[in-house]
Amino acid sequence: MCGPPPTTTSTATAAPEQPPITPQLGDLAPDFIAETSDGEIRFHEWLGDSWGVLFSHPADFTPVCTTELGAVARLHDQFAARDTKVAAVSVDTAESHRAWSPDIAETQGAEVNFPLIADPDRRVATLYGMIHPRHDNTATVRSVFVIGPDKTIKLTLTYPASTGRHFGEILRVLDSLQLTAAHQLATPADWQPGQDVIITPGVSQEEAARRFPDHRVIKPYLRLTPQPARP
């Protein structure tokens, strides 16, 4: 016998939504296989030994996204000079990405020259925590992940749907990350390529004298040196 339903004095509440799990700095970048505007991508295999930038946009055929993808297409040679492969992702289909691409070329002055990942089932978006339900329950936010040749996450950024990103800043971060990887150098606030860089604290003074003969010691913990040329 079932009996009457249990009485309750409070309205039913859903379990609190869990925040998206976004990979953090140092984590292994999740691998995936997906369709793109240019065919299938096996993400880690596609990255190879290169650096990578994976960035999400909310939706195809939207104004801010159109300008962003055009900006990245125009920077193709800059990313290539940094041995960096770029891919974009949204919850749209590959067919939609292909249909949208001519508009980007027409309005932004550059053909899309990188894969647009299709993610209609949100697998990639979920792996990377790109849907922030209290901002937008269905579309990806503007996430950026920089991935090193070791496939770990080197940078995360999250912008709201209404703010287009400054992709020159992503290039600047790549320059900084690559200085750290190659030379144990860091970059100061507002650094621009060509300006002096910082010798990281892990480098002894003896080693600094040997490797960076033109460096100057402002404080024992603040040592500056001219930026070395890219290898």
Number of residues that bind ligand BEZ (CB under 6 A): 8
Cβ–Cβ < 8 Å for 18, 94: no
* Sign, CA torsion 164/67/156/34: positive
Written as one letter, the residue type at 161 is A
Per rule CB under 6 A, is residue 62 in the interface with ligand BEZ?
Answer: yes
* 197 in contact with ligand BEZ (CB under 6 A): no
Tokens 């790549």, located at residue: 174
Q: Is the dihedral angle over the CA atoms 92, 27, 197, 188 positive or is it negative?
A: positive
The letter for the amino acid at 178 is Q
Phi, psi of 54 (to 5 degrees): -110, 120
Q: Looking at 47, 65, 91, 161, which residue is catalytic?
A: 65
CA distance 170 to 141: 17
Name the residue nearer to ligand BEZ (CB basis): 87 or 91. Answer: 91
- Would residue 2 show up in a list of annotated catalytic residues for this protein? no
Distance CA 129, CA 30 (A): 11
Using alpha carbons only, give the angle 97, 101, 106 rounded to the nearest 5 degrees: 160
Binding mask 102-141 for ligand BEZ (x = CB under 6 A): ----------------------------------------
The end-to-end CA distance of the chain, in Å, is 79
For residues 161 and 185, which CB has a smaller minimum distance to ligand BEZ in the complex? 161
Q: Which is nearer to ligand BEZ, 54 or 161 (CB)?
A: 161
For the segment 31-60, give every residue that binds ligand BEZ (CB under 6 A): 58-59
* Between 59 and 155, CB nearer to ligand BEZ: 59
Under the binding rule (CB under 6 A), the answer on residue 64 touching ligand BEZ is yes
Closest listed residue to residue 177, CA positions, set 192, 193, 202, 155: 155
Question: In this chain, which of 34, 41, 65, 141 binds ligand BEZ, going by CB under 6 A?
Answer: 65
Residue 29 makes contact with ligand BEZ by CB under 6 A = no
Query: Is residue 185 helix, strand or coil?
Result: strand
Minimum distance, C-beta of residue 63 to ligand BEZ, in the bound complex (Å): 4
Range 137-166, binding ligand BEZ (CB under 6 A): 161-162
Shortest separation between residue 139's beta carbon and ligand BEZ, angstroms: 6
In the complex, what is the shortest distance from the CB of residue 32 to ligand BEZ, in angstroms, rounded to a whole number? Answer: 23
**Catalytic residue ranges:** 65
Residues that bind ligand BEZ (CB under 6 A): 58-59, 62-65, 161-162
